[in-house]
A and B are shown apart, each in its own frame.
Chain A
Amino acid sequence: METLLSIKDLTIDFDQGKRFVRALHGVSLNVARGEVLGVVGESGCGKSITWLAALGLLGSKARISGSVRLNGQEIAGAPENDLAGLRGGRIAMIFQDPSSSLNPVHRIGRQIAEALKLHRGMTGASANAEAARLLDRVGIANATRRLREYPHEMSGGMNQRIMIAMALAGEPDLLIADEPTTALDATIQAQILDLLTELRRDSGMALVLISHDLGVVADMSDRVAVMYGGRVIEEADTGSLFDSPAHPYTRGLIAALPDIDGPRRRLESIPGTVPAPDQLPPGCSFAPRCAIASKICDARVPAFLPYGEKQSHFAACIKCRGGAPTETASMPGNKSALVPA
């Protein structure tokens, strides 16, 4: 598949006054045209800042290095004017809390028209008509009346639909959705996820879905990247990742999730907490919490290598290195010891 966006060795250091703290340690990710890439991880793992940095949205306190290519063209460190055209145009982004992304003192119609004017040069009646069409597209009934309302007159789910409508205004190739349904109720979440799937099917845009919810990511994504401590520690197609997770952290996350079907079991919790960005251990950053870690894990940061027979499954773990599952099975503390019976 043709690569749409390619992030290579992206590192981010935040200026803490006296020193810089590295929050992202060389992240490489690709998004193909029309693909859904799920990004999971716990708070502070760097899943959001990766994409904010790619779009140049992190501000002057962040020092960014690495490369971000959109259709082969370098956009990391591009002039602000060029980026402004890309943001909302080629790449759109929606966030967790729609009501804080919308301007409370402007009508919905005006805010959507603003995006249409910026990215498609539409004004006046044509912009209004297009705004109404977009609202209709995201499943809001009575579009012309709704355009005259303010964000506070609508529910959270409606506001998220409006954010999606604004994101669609620029007809983007890539939509980055950062926890798009976390603030919404279960039945509204189902509506928004269905809407995103439908829009993607119709327009063929690629989607990056950032979420802490493994269920949402499993449901929506073609491919999943798991992040921990500012690195991607595992990446695979959705099937492999959930059926045969390689990294102990990924396995731990899946085992820590309560089920809705099947017999009730005691949850497998991962001991300890996520280390602070300035207190990462020397080697594998998951080693202090890992059940199968040994001395060699502290020696150096494990490389991101293929796992198993599939060429599309990668993991950064010395213990599951070597590739073929037969080799991993012979290791002490192997996979079968970790997966709950």
Chain B
Amino acid sequence: MTDLLRVNDLKRHYEVHVPEGLFGRKASLKAVDGVSFSIEKGRTLGLVGESGCGKSTTAKLVLGLIPATSGTVEFAGTPVTARHDAQWRAMRRRMQMIYQDPLGALDRRLPVITQIAEPFEIHYAQMPAAERTDRAAVLMDSVGLRPDMAMRYPHELSGGQRQRVVIARALALEPDLLVCDEPVSALDVSIQAQVLNLLDDLRERTGFAALFISHDLKVVRQMSDQVAVMYLGRIVESGLPEEVFRRPQHPYTKALVSAIPTPARRGKRERIVLEGDPPSPVDVPSGCSFHTRCPIAQASCRNAVPQLVASGGHAVACHLVNAGATPAVQAAE
């Protein structure tokens, strides 16, 4: 199968001013620092990591919403740039996005059916108004919204229903790629399951590929064909969800997987608790950026940045793992 989306050594650095000394100093915040991945047609890549690791910046870069410092994004063979010209707009028709906060993504002053029909208005201006409304009604039905909700305003709907409106709108143009940035994080457990199942069904029916971003490993595992774990702007481990979460190799992934409390694991105290907070992306530690919190780090980890080394589809960026030195950390089974 061909790759729909190909991301190569993508970087996004921000110039920031750090308060230090009398005048402060200029520094570079490396939000995304050399990320490469690809998504095949109809497949889903899950991106996990903690806040500030660059997940959302990656999403914006993929869609060309912000310019990359270096590196390339290719969508269906065409480079995606942040130059918002006719070519980009044509491409955006096939790449849509869902955000965490549906209320922020919707216009409070328009009834939801108008908002679902809006993509047709923008991209198919010649389509008769009646057909737009008909199509929007079909979309509402497909995401499980009742016809009587059409004329309601966003504030009259519940959080789960609003997210359905956002999904319906994103799917209006039958995109090839859907970028979902924490789509269920603001929802309650029972509603979260509804929305995840809905996305699953829609994917089966329409065959879109997805970049699925979440901090919740359980949700990412549920939705993804491939997963990538990010730490401080880099991918530290990637592979099949079963592989990565059942037999994590990188010490960060191990800690992350072991830190998730679930009802099934209750009482079993085998959590690996990492010391300290993730470092600021302004002062990324030298060498392996995880060495400051890593329970198995050695002096040599400070020197060189580890590269992602793949073996059988499971790639890890850790000097010790890749050198074959078995880390002493207990994996959470």
Contact = CB atoms under 8 A, between A and B. Distances in A.
Interface in A253-311: 253-254, 256-262, 264, 266-271, 273-274
A266 B197 contact: yes
B271 A194 contact: yes
Nearest to A262: B264
B190 A256 contact: yes
Contacts, number: 127
Q: How large is the interface on A (under 10, 10 to 19, 20 to 34, 35 or more residues)?
A: 35 or more
Interface string B245-265: 110000000011111111111
B110 to A, nearest CB: 22
B219 to A, nearest CB: 6
A214 B188 contact: no
A260 B262 contact: yes
Interface stretch (B66-74, B80-88, B272-280): B272-280
B50 interface: yes
B260 A186 contact: yes
B226 interface: no
Contacts of B193: 256-258, 267-270
Interface residues of B, number: 43
A193 B246 CA distance: 23
Contacts of A268: 193
B188 A191 contact: no
Nearest to B201: A266
A83 interface: no
A226 to B, nearest CB: 11
A187 B266 contact: no
Given A185-B215, A215-B263, A273-B161, A194 B188 contact: no
Contact of A214 (B196, B245, B263): B263
26 contacts: A42-B191, A157-B277, A185-B50, A185-B278, A186-B217, A186-B259, A187-B255, A188-B277, A215-B261, A215-B265, A218-B265, A256-B192, A256-B193, A258-B193, A258-B218, A258-B221, A259-B218, A261-B265, A262-B264, A264-B222, A266-B197, A267-B193, A267-B197, A269-B197, A273-B158, A273-B160
Interface of B: 50-51, 158, 160-161, 188-194, 196-197, 200, 215, 217-219, 221-222, 241-242, 245-246, 255-267, 271, 273-274, 277-278
